[in-house]
Amino acid sequence: MILLNCDIGESYGAWHMGLDAEVMPLIDCANIACGYHAGDPSTMRRTVALAVSHGVRIGAHPAYPDLVGFGRRSMACSGEEIENLLHYQIGALQAFCAVEGSRVEYVKPHGALYNDMMANPAILTSVLRAVAAHRMPLVLLATRDNSAELALAAEHGVPLWFESFADRAYEASGHLVSRRLPGAVHEQADAVVAQALTLARGDALVARDGSALRLHTDTLCVHGDNPASIAAVRQIRQALEAQRA
């Protein structure tokens, strides 16, 4: 069964981002910001409590320490620094989960850290070492060939959850089309729902070059940052439930 996940808890102090209360009832997994790219202690605890109230799995959404850039800029961190910044953020979220009677169940890095671990085996190794210490799965991008990531994760004893995107166009390799290119993001709800169902069935997508692309998808990333995206998530949830029936 495919799981819907959403990046959430990304407000910071008086600055509000996302429609967390609206999207939470529609998802299975909440990737909660841990304070480095977004989120603050009060937002973290409030988001954890919201997830618990809806029976939603909680995942840590750690990033480079880049509040100004929203974690979307790569940083020159050593392997040890990457491990420690992950421990710090996972631990902070785990503390709020303990207070609310829950626990962190998985880790999904955010932004540039997510992209960097997919592009650089040394960074992925550091991430895997950190996640292994917490004995939980790591979420990463489903591509045409994830054999290298599977082998590296097996060395560290870390289960992987492969993630796909309903609202993004794909290159033939299975990597996401750059947002700088036209058509990188599907804007129409019908197209987003159709791609979600294609991924859930395990059918092939059409890549940017016209080739067939089949992805192994454990979890589907959706967004809840505006009313239109909430409506799309609701349609995806309804379509998946109908498919399961």
Q: What is the mean pLDDT of residues 193-212?
A: 94
Sign of CA dihedral 67, 68, 74, 76: negative
Residue 224 has pLDDT above 90, yes or no: no
Apex CA 243: angle with CA 237 and CA 245, to 5°? 105
Quick one: DSSP state of residue 13?
T
Distance from C-alpha of 216 to C-alpha of 237, rounded to nearest angstrom: 19
Residue 77 has pLDDT above 80, yes or no: yes
Residue 245 has pLDDT above 70, yes or no: no
Which CATH number covers residue 92?
3.20.20.370
pLDDT at 227: 85
Residue pLDDT, tens place only, 121-148: 999 999 999 999 999 999 999 999 999 9
Domain that holds residue 214: 3-244
Give the count of domains, the chain.
Answer: 1
Q: Take residue 165 and report the two structure tokens written for it.
A: 């995107």
At 133, the amino acid letter reads A
Residue pLDDT, tens place only, 86-99: 999 999 999 999 99
Distance from C-alpha of 16 to C-alpha of 25, rounded to nearest angstrom: 19
